[in-house]
Amino acid sequence: MRILTEGKAKFYAPTAKIVSKDMPVFYNPVMKTNRDIAVAIVASSGRKMRIADPLAGTGIRSIRILLEAGKNAESIAINDVSPSAVRLIKKNLRLNKLSGKKISIANTEANKFLLESKSFDYIDIDPFGYPGIFLESAIKRISQKGIIAITATDTAALAGTAPKACMRKYWAIPLRNELMHEIGLRIMIRRVQITAAAFEKAAVPVLSYFKDHYARAFFRMERGASKADSILKQHKMFFYCSKSMERGIGTACQSCGEGKEVAGPLWTGPLWERETLISAMKKTCNKETRKFLGTIAEEARVDSVGFYDIHKVCKSLQIAAPKTAEIMKRLRKRKIKAAMTHFSNRGIRANAGIKEIKKFIKAASAN
C-alpha cells in the first residue's frame, strides 16, 4: 500500500504496476477526471443530496465528494462487495478525518445494497466494464430529478470491435470508424433510457462524454410516462457511407447508396445541457478537467449527431490538411455553427452537410 493524493483527499491505494481487476482493491489513476467531474456535478447541484457510491473500491470518489462538495452531501452511502475494499474504505475515511452520522458503509452486492436502501438523489455506477446489470436498481432508487451517473468501460462492445457483445448487452449495432466513440456513447445512453422508460421515468442526459477507455453520462431522472415516451421518440438508426462520408439519421445514404454502414438504435437528442456544463466547470478545481469541460461546453452549442474528421476528409479530397482555425473561421463567417469536438482532436462538429464541409475545407486548404 502507498499513500496517494487526489483532489483534496489522501488515501491508501494498492501498489500495482498494472491496473486490473485482480488488484487487491481497485484503483485507477486514469479515472481522476471521471471523479473530478462527479465531484463537480455534486458541488454545482445547488442542493443537498443523498448520495450512493455502490461500487466504491478504495472509497476515493466518496471521500472526495465529502471533502470537496461536502455542503451538498447531506448523506453518503458507500458500498463494495469486497471485504478488503470495505476495510480500506474505513481506513481511508479515518485518514481524512471523516466520520459522523452522514456516512454509512456497507459490504454487499450493489443491487442488494441499492434495493435495500431508501431513495438517493445521486447514484454513481462505476463498475468493471458493463454497467447494465446495475441499471434497474439505480433507476428504482433514484429520487425525482435525482442524478444517475453511469460509466461503461466495455468499449470493445460500444466502439465496434465486438459488435455481437454490443447487440447482446446494448441491443444495438455499433460503428467502427472515426465516429465510433460518439456512436458508442449514444448507444449506451439509449440503453439507460429504455431501462428507465420501463419504470415510466425519463433519463435526460445533462453531461456525457467519451474519454480514455470509457463512456460516461449523467442523467437527470424525471418521472412520467409521457416524458419517457418523448425520450424514446429520439431513438433512431444512423447511417454512414464510407465512400461519400455522407451520414445522418435514418438508414439511407442519399448520394450513392454504396459503402453504407448502419448503426443504432441510438440516442439522437442532445448529449449536454450547457448550463450543467458551465456550472460544473466553475466547481472544477483541476485545470485540465476544466479545460476538458470547456471544450465540451463549446461543443454543446452545436446540435448534431456526428462530427467531421478533418484529416479523413482531406485524404478523400487528396489535399493537405489546412489549419483547423482557418476552417472554423470560414464556417463562422458564413454563420454556420461549428466547434471542436472532445471526441477527437482532428474533429469539427458543425451544422453543415459533408458536401458543404468539403467545400470549406478545400477553400481553407487553397488559402
Which residues make up the interface to ligand SAM (CB under 6 A)? 26-27, 31, 35, 55-58, 60-61, 80-82, 85, 109-110, 126-128
DSSP string covering 336-361, please? --EEE-TT-TTEEEESS-HHHHHHHH
Per-residue burial over 52-84, b = 16 or more CB atoms within 10 Å of its CB, e = otherwise: bbbbbbbbbbbbbbbbbbeebbebbbbbbbbee
Minimal distance, residue 279 CB to ligand SAM, in Å:
22
Q: Which is nearer to ligand SAM, 126 or 299 (CB)?
A: 126
* Among the listed residues 214, 185, 209, 349, the one whose alpha carbon sits nearest the alpha carbon of residue 280: 209
Q: Which H or E element spans position 165?
A: helix 163-170
Q: Which is nearer to ligand SAM, 149 or 204 (CB)?
A: 149
Minimal distance, residue 143 CB to ligand SAM, in Å:
21
Minimal distance, residue 43 CB to ligand SAM, in Å:
16
Minimal distance, residue 62 CB to ligand SAM, in Å:
9
Q: What are phi and psi of 55, to 5 degrees?
A: -130, 75
Please list the helix, strand and coil fractions of the chain in percent, rounded to the nearest 5, in that order: 40, 25, 35
Minimal distance, residue 153 CB to ligand SAM, in Å:
7
Minimal distance, residue 79 CB to ligand SAM, in Å:
6
- Distance, first Cα to last Cα, the chain: 57
* All cell numbers assigned to 201: 421515468
Q: Which is nearer to ligand SAM, 27 or 209 (CB)?
A: 27
Whether the Cβ atoms of residue 214 and residue 204 lie closer than 8 Å to each other: no
Minimal distance, residue 31 CB to ligand SAM, in Å:
6
Tell me how long the chain is.
Answer: 367
**Is the bond leading into 127 cis (omega within 30 degrees of zero)?**
no
Minimal distance, residue 127 CB to ligand SAM, in Å:
5
Q: Which is nearer to ligand SAM, 19 or 336 (CB)?
A: 19
DSSP string covering 34-87, please? HHHHHHHHHHTS-S-EEEEESS-TTSHHHHHHHHHSGGGEEEEEEE-S-HHHHH
Q: Which is nearer to ligand SAM, 258 or 288 (CB)?
A: 288
Query: Measured between alpha carbons, how far is 323 from 15 in angstroms, rounded to an integer?
Result: 44
Whether the Cβ atoms of residue 140 and residue 200 lie closer than 8 Å to each other: no
* All cell numbers assigned to 192: 439507460
Whether the Cβ atoms of residue 148 and residue 139 lie closer than 8 Å to each other: yes
Minimal distance, residue 65 CB to ligand SAM, in Å:
11
Q: Which is nearer to ligand SAM, 23 or 319 (CB)?
A: 23
Q: Which is nearer to ligand SAM, 83 or 100 (CB)?
A: 83
Q: Which is nearer to ligand SAM, 131 or 264 (CB)?
A: 131
Q: Which is nearer to ligand SAM, 126 or 178 (CB)?
A: 126
